[in-house]
Amino acid sequence: MQIRDLPYADPGDPDVRSGPRFLLWLGRNQLAGQLKALAWGLLHQCAIAGLPLAVGLAVQAVIDRSGRGLVVAGVLIVALGVLIAVGDTMLHRTAVTNWITAAARVQQLLARKTAELGSALTRRVAAGEVVAVSTGDVEKIGWFVEALSRFAAAATALVLICVGLVLYLPALGVLVAVAMPVLALAVLPLLPRATRRADVQREKAGKATELASDTVAGLRVLRGIGGEELFLGRYRRASQEVREAAVRSARMWALISAVQVLLPGILLISLVVYGAALARDGRIEVGQLVTVYSAATLMLFPLRHVEEIAMAYSFSRPSAQRAVRVLSLHRSAQPSTIEGMAPAGDLYDPATGLMAPRGLFTAVVCGDPDEAGRLAERLGGHVQTKDDASGDGTAPAPKVPSVLLGGVALDELPLDFARAAVLVQDKDPILLSGTLRELLDVPSSGLVSAGDALAAAQCGDVLDALAQASPDTEGDPMGTRITERGRSLSGGQRQRLALARSLVTDPEALVLDEPTSAVDSHTEARVAAGIKRLRHGRTTVAFASSPLLLDLADRVVLVHGGAVLAVGSHRELLRGEPRYRAVVTRETEDEIPALAARDACVQAARADGTEKMEERA
């Protein structure tokens, strides 16, 4: 895989059982690139290892006054220099390619998962954590994948050099061969502590990123309530905790680096003292001592890759674990089994008993806003489950029955068909940056125009504001750019533009979670009427508690405690269902029993009056 071939046609199905397994899966999927990097790394390392031999031959040629030997040594040095340059260049190219392609694979997997889960992703994973995974964590994972092949090349080169020194000069080669494993493994006792400190640093950095993301997202609200300094103080404290954790982690890695400088230094001193004694006694030649000493010195370079791979793994393992936490989320517990069909009919949730008949405008009232959000999410087929609820494989997630559309389970539909059949608009919809025309240019049935959708959502004042905000468009609001997340608009304006976008899509079933919560009562009544008019003959479900919207619905469903309690019109439920009246009229829980008793008395009085009238008759 080359960089020019990105993105991947299919990034694959990752192993998300754990962070190390995910890293192993990435390495296996880039085996060709790893082998290329290994080959070029071996060429580079072996060419460097050959320099001491050439230098030793040159020194010995000078001592022996051999011109021919000096020429041979010079040619060998030039050849090795060329091989070092070629190997280093190609190793860098292949290693960077491995890094970028691994990072691109992870980013594609994250993008695919984000598209699969939609806005429901941030309900399970904090937005800041998603940002941290898709930026810094991706780089750390790519670093480990890239460093793996260079470490393998360095380790292989160390073995070959040790074997070569033992065969070339056993007296000194055995000393180097015995010392090298000690030098390579000396830092292992320090790695667990360094890894723990690195994990703490990454965890604190992730929390700081989440806090920063949440603060930026709510900056407008914070300014309104004067809370900037409060959140700035929180982020300052979180930033200092990250700094302190980074310093503690850096101290451990500095200690590891010091060990890898101290022990090789002891080896080189021992080698010089012992080798000089052998050369003085005439047991070895000076050129041989220079060769072994130079080889031992150059072996410190591949030894550095041991420290690097340890650091790369320590930083990439928690990053991979965070990526796994996102990638292990699923749209449903059941794979798609139905191909090539878009169902139509009643929308039914077996878990709660909620029924939204085809072609009708159904309003749903929930006393708990969180319950309403979860139910709206379920109706869109966006139920996320993990392979196991606890994350350790010991407690399997409970299986929840899928929502049915026309008798077909949404979980059994391919994602594209499920999204086209049922569209869910969150209570806090996001507007992407771009022009208003681009905002409304979404996949749709083509039966609802942008103008009709904007009119139904009562966006006239929004269009006027956009036309005045951008004089370059010659008064055309459709060409006016909307800032990121629509921050230049009020909450009500953003909500109505998002509603217009949903209406343009014209799905078989449209689920709206509090579609008029940010507008005034007068606008709310007109928006509700516009929704009912434009969606006539199409299935529409609106989660709301506003009497203005409920009164326009064809049927109203009261959901409490995860089950449907009552179904009827707004006025029928208002008269006969105390819980419904408590939610809609904002009555307290203490008033419900009294209201129920009063209703019972009124109904009894009416029944008694009816009986007396019948007796008189």
Mean pLDDT for each 10-residue chunk of the chain (617 residues)? Answer: 78 88 88 89 85 81 84 89 92 89 88 76 67 79 87 86 85 85 80 80 77 64 61 81 88 84 85 86 81 79 81 82 84 52 83 92 89 86 48 50 86 77 84 85 86 92 80 74 75 90 92 89 91 92 92 93 91 90 74 53 49 44
| 356 sits in which H/E element | strand 354-356
> Which of these, 386, 332, 469, lies nearest to 124 by C-alpha position?
386
Residue 198 contacts residue 247 (beta carbons within 8 Å): no
Give this prediction's pTM: 0.61
The pLDDT score that the predictor gives to residue 554 is: 94
Question: Contact at 8 Å (CB) between 104 and 30?
Answer: no
Question: How many beta carbons lie within 10 A of that of residue 333, not counting itself?
Answer: 17
Query: What are the distances in angstroms from CA 434 to CA 216, 437, 486, 501?
Result: 19, 8, 10, 14
Cα(370)–Cα(378) distance, integer angstroms: 12
- pLDDT at position 242, please? 87
pLDDT computed for residue 393 by the predictor? 42
Cβ atoms of 544 and 516 closer than 8 Å: yes
Check residue 597 and give its pLDDT: 57
